């Protein structure tokens, strides 16, 4: 394209963007619900297009999600693939161009059911029957908005349900929608995925078509650009570029191996976590990585979780397994001798690797692996010590994430009506009350998640987000009255009576692997001094002996001060070696040549994100190295050079 053709094209584009911006502003200020309505309307338009292309399509639900919408469809033997997106989008654009109105109307519930039968929409029929019977549909993962429910006043009051019709497509739906199909903004179909009907693995699997949608094409483009940026900081990509870990087919999926650089990250994190725990009164313990399966039959995990690695023994009749967690092991330390109320709390920590046979499709880089290392701990406490211990732990968690400069979000994971939980419901209620009170008093910004508790107790789960905004659980504090019961743990109180302790489980980082995956994306590989695998790189200007000796001398000094320093004396230009150091995201780079040898001073080049002052600083070599060592020790985020 030459200049003459490109310029008018750009001007036209600019004009479009400008007018769309103006419209977007109007929407933002006057109608805050406009965007969800647009997205929801697009879900209907997509369904309309699909119905035209596949007249036999059966529809599930099609709600609004973050950044867009989806619709679940069942095409029987036919399957949608991403290659079909062009023709679906083309059909959608036709519907949008037609600009037909969305018409709302109501039907009595029985008529609605008849409609679903007549139009051969079994999934809609099932939803309607549930609505009729229970007044709501009680399936996880279903958005009530999608179901045409009008449930104010509670259960079993549904008489009428609402429908929306656009052109030849009619759908059970509560709305709201935009006025007509022409008013839906900019969209793009993204991908197709399998999704079980009503989120249940035992149900048939439908195809879920995802789209992103925004009020204007500029915003849509911005979103797509953001996804591109996020790809660049994907921990799997950076892990390879920065030489942090490898995943080998020979070793197996979900079993990452850490390089020297990656191992520095792991060890620094573990060191920090253990420091915090030691301050909090925790003592290190250690257990082997395999155990008799009997231990897990008693704990109750054996039957609950089939995802284990069994280990067979040639010599004995016993069966063994890799440990999938640590709590049952630690109970045996407690149980090894009689305990007095004076001994409590007993606090044990262990940073150790455990093994879970995750289903293949669930593995994901470092986020979800089959060998995971936890900074785990277990405190055995009296009833009256629970609260202090939970606060003790929350203090550690706060300090960790404050130092790392990572925002947290908190779930209070409690039980639901399900009978999958072990233990006395009264104790459960008590435990949940304690956690909720603490969450409130500690001013955590939490939300309550029923059904998310462990089978042995409620939890405070703490999440951090990756580059795409996906939440990953890292820290957790869990109350447990079940393990002590199952392993018959006791202590003797001041009246010589036998009592049962409670257990408080916790992790600060959670799985080190998962934490690293999020942290690598959070920092885009620009690690703070205390974690940086290579804190300083010395770049030699030439290969002369005096220069090499000088660089070697700096390396020896760095070793004494425990500064991680590398020397690049390769036969390349200084510019190229600087570039390599920048790409490796080394915090401090010093160039070593005749000038430095003469003055015995260096001018550290500071990684851009760490610069707090502009002027270059000249320092003596030892002074510089000591500053680096101190910054690492203090775990500061930015440089003070």
* Interface stretch with RNA, choices 5-13, 310-318, 557-565, 582-590 (CB under 7 A): 582-590
Complex with RNA: residue 194 or 260, whichever CB lies closer? 194
Distance CA 461, CA 472 (A): 10
Query: At what angle are helices 621-634 and 545-560 packed, to 10 degrees?
Result: 40
Chain positions 479 to 538 lying near RNA, rule: CB under 7 A, are none
Cβ neighbours of residue 141 closer than 8 Å, sequence gap 6 or more: 198, 199
Q: How many helices (H) and strands (E) does the chain have?
A: 19, 29
Distance CA 265, CA 272 (A): 11
Cβ neighbours of residue 40 closer than 8 Å, sequence gap 6 or more: 62, 63, 64, 69, 173, 175, 176, 177
Given the residues 327, 385, 478, 605, select the one marked as catalytic. Answer: 327
Query: In this chain, which of 26, 99, 157, 194 binds RNA, going by CB under 7 A?
Result: 194
614 binds RNA (CB under 7 A): no
Q: Is 356 a catalytic residue?
A: yes
208 binds RNA (CB under 7 A): yes
Using the Cα atoms of residue 147, residue 153, residue 159 and residue 161 in order, give the sign of their dihedral. negative
Q: Looking at the DSSP assignment, which residues form a beta bridge with residue 477? A: 460, 506
Q: What share of the chain is helix, strand, coil (3-state, %, to 5)?
A: 40, 25, 35
Query: In this chain, which of 576, 620, 623, 640 binds RNA, going by CB under 7 A?
Result: 576
Least Å distance between CB 193 and RNA? Answer: 3
Q: Is 378 a catalytic residue?
A: yes
Least Å distance between CB 311 and RNA? Answer: 14
* Interface stretch with RNA, choices 96-104, 153-161, 549-557, 578-586 (CB under 7 A): 578-586
Given the residues 74, 376, 461, 568, select the one marked as catalytic. Answer: 376
Given the residues 51, 207, 374, 478, select the one marked as catalytic. Answer: 374
* Interface stretch with RNA, choices 14-22, 177-185, 423-431, 581-589 (CB under 7 A): 581-589
Chain positions 73 to 92 lying near RNA, rule: CB under 7 A, are 79-83
596 binds RNA (CB under 7 A): yes
594 binds RNA (CB under 7 A): yes
Query: In this chain, which of 94, 160, 308, 382 binds RNA, going by CB under 7 A?
Result: 308
Query: In this chain, which of 52, 188, 223, 236 binds RNA, going by CB under 7 A?
Result: 236
Q: Could you write out the DSSP letters of every residue in 74-128?
A: E-TT----GGGHHHHHHHHHHHHHHTPBPEEEEEEHHHHHHHHHHTT-HHHHHHH
426 binds RNA (CB under 7 A): no
- The answer to whether 61 touches 197, Cβ cutoff 8 Å, is no
Given the residues 378, 506, 537, 605, select the one marked as catalytic. Answer: 378
Complex with RNA: residue 113 or 408, whichever CB lies closer? 408
578 binds RNA (CB under 7 A): yes
Residue 321's region, left for phi above 0, alpha for psi from -120 to 50, else beta, is beta
Q: Is 374 a catalytic residue?
A: yes
Complex with RNA: residue 199 or 281, whichever CB lies closer? 199
Query: In this chain, which of 159, 279, 544, 623 binds RNA, going by CB under 7 A?
Result: 544
**Regarding beta strands 346-355 and 283-284, do their DSSP bridges make them parallel or antiparallel, or are they unpaired?**
parallel
Least Å distance between CB 90 and RNA? Answer: 18
Query: In this chain, which of 541, 565, 586, 610 binds RNA, going by CB under 7 A?
Result: 541
Q: In which residue are the tokens 């033997």 written?
A: 77
Using the Cα atoms of residue 524, residue 527, residue 528 and residue 529 in order, give the sign of their dihedral. negative
Chain positions 282 to 301 lying near RNA, rule: CB under 7 A, are 301
Least Å distance between CB 75 and RNA? Answer: 10
Distance CA 370, CA 308 (A): 10
Tokens representing residue 481 in the block: 């009255």
Distance CA 484, CA 498 (A): 13
Cβ neighbours of residue 51 closer than 8 Å, sequence gap 6 or more: 57, 59, 168, 169
End-to-end CA, the chain: 49
CA-closest candidate to residue 247, choices 236, 237, 257: 257
Chain positions 357 to 416 lying near RNA, rule: CB under 7 A, are 357-365, 368
Given the residues 208, 356, 564, 607, select the one marked as catalytic. Answer: 356
209 binds RNA (CB under 7 A): no
In angstroms and rounded to an integer, the radius of gyration of the C-alpha atoms of the chain is 30
Least Å distance between CB 96 and RNA? Answer: 24
Query: In this chain, which of 589, 610, 628, 632 binds RNA, going by CB under 7 A?
Result: 589
Query: In this chain, which of 254, 484, 501, 525 binds RNA, going by CB under 7 A?
Result: 254
Complex with RNA: residue 216 or 273, whichever CB lies closer? 273
CA-closest candidate to residue 479, choices 420, 432, 438, 514: 432
Query: In this chain, which of 46, 186, 195, 586 binds RNA, going by CB under 7 A?
Result: 195
Complex with RNA: residue 369 or 444, whichever CB lies closer? 369
Chain positions 427 to 466 lying near RNA, rule: CB under 7 A, are 454-455
223 binds RNA (CB under 7 A): no
Least Å distance between CB 172 and RNA? Answer: 21
Q: Is 505 a catalytic residue?
A: yes
Q: ω before 345 within 30° of 0 (cis)?
A: yes
Complex with RNA: residue 396 or 589, whichever CB lies closer? 589
Size of the site for RNA (CB under 7 A): 76
CA-closest candidate to residue 621, choices 593, 591, 600: 600
Query: In this chain, which of 35, 212, 325, 529 binds RNA, going by CB under 7 A?
Result: 325
193 binds RNA (CB under 7 A): yes
Least Å distance between CB 603 and RNA? Answer: 5
468 binds RNA (CB under 7 A): yes
CA-closest candidate to residue 165, choices 115, 232, 227, 226: 115
Site string for RNA, 118-147 (x = CB under 7 A): ----------------------xx------
Q: Catalytic residues, which ones?
A: 327, 356, 374, 376, 378, 459, 505
């Amino acid at each position: 394209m030459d200049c003459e053709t490109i310029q008018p094209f750009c001007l036209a584009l600019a004009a479009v963007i400008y007018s769309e911006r103006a419209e977007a502003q109007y929407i933002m200020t006057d109608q805050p619900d406009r965007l969800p309505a647009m997205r929801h309307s697009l879900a209907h338009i997509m369904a309309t297009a699909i119905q035209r292309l596949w007249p036999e399509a059966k529809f599930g639900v099609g709600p609004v999600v973050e950044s867009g919408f989806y619709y679940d469809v069942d095409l029987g033997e036919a399957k949608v693939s991403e290659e079909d997106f062009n023709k679906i989008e083309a059909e959608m654009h036709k519907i949008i161009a037609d600009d037909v109105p969305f018409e709302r109307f109501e039907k009595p519930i029985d008529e609605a059911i008849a409609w679903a039968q007549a139009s051969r929409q079994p999934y809609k029929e099932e939803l309607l029957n549930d609505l009729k019977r229970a007044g709501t549909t009680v399936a996880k993962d279903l958005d009530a908005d999608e179901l045409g429910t009008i449930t104010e006043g509670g259960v079993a009051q549904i008489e009428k349900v609402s429908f929306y019709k656009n052109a030849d497509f009619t759908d059970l739906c509560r709305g709201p929608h935009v006025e007509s199909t022409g008013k839906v903004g900019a969209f793009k179909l993204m991908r197709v995925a399998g999704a079980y009907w009503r989120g249940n693995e035992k149900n048939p699997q439908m195809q879920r078509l995802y789209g992103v949608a925004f009020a204007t094409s500029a915003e849509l483009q911005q979103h797509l650009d953001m996804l591109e940026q996020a790809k660049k900081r994907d921990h799997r990509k950076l892990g390879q570029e920065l030489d942090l870990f490898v995943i080998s087919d020979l070793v197996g999926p979900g079993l990452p191996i850490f390089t020297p650089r990656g191992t520095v990250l792991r060890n620094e994190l573990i060191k920090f976590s253990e420091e915090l725990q030691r301050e909090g009164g925790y003592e290190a313990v250690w257990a082997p990585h395999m155990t008799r399966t009997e231990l897990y039959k008693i704990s109750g995990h054996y039957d609950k979780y089939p995802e284990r690695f069994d280990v067979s023994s040639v010599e004995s009749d016993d069966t063994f397994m890799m440990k999938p967690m640590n709590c049952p092991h630690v109970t045996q330390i407690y149980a090894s001798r009689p305990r007095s109320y004076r001994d409590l709390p007993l606090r044990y920590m262990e940073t150790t690797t455990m093994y879970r046979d995750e289903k293949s499709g669930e593995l994901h880089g470092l986020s979800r692996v089959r060998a995971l290392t936890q900074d785990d701990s277990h405190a055995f406490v009296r009833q009256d010590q629970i609260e202090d211990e939970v606060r003790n732990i929350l203090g550690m968690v706060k300090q960790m994430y404050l130092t790392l400069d990572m925002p947290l979000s908190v779930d209070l994971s409690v039980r639901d009506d399900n009978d999958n939980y072990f233990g006395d419901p009264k104790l459960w209620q008590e435990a949940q009350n304690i956690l909720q009170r603490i969450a409130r008093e500690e001013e955590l910004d939490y939300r309550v998640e029923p059904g998310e508790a462990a089978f042995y107790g409620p939890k405070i789960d703490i999440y951090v987000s990756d580059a795409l905004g996906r939440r990953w659980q890292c820290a957790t504090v869990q109350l447990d009255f079940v393990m002590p019961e199952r392993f018959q743990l006791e202590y003797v109180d001041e009246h010589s009576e036998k009592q049962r302790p409670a257990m408080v489980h916790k992790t600060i980082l959670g799985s080190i692997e998962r934490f690293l995956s999020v942290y690598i994306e959070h920092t885009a590989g620009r690690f703070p001094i205390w974690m940086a695998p290579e804190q300083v790189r010395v770049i030699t200007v030439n290969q002369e002996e005096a220069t090499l000796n000088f660089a070697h001398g700096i390396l020896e000094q760095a070793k004494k001060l425990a500064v991680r320093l590398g020397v690049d004396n390769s036969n390349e230009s200084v510019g190229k070696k600087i570039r390599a150091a920048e790409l490796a995201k080394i915090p401090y780079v010093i160039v070593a040549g005749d000038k430095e040898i003469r003055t015995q001073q260096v001018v550290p080049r500071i990684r851009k994100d760490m610069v707090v002052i502009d002027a270059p600083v000249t320092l003596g070599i030892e002074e510089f190295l000591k500053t680096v060592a101190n910054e690492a020790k203090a775990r500061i985020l930015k440089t003070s050079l």
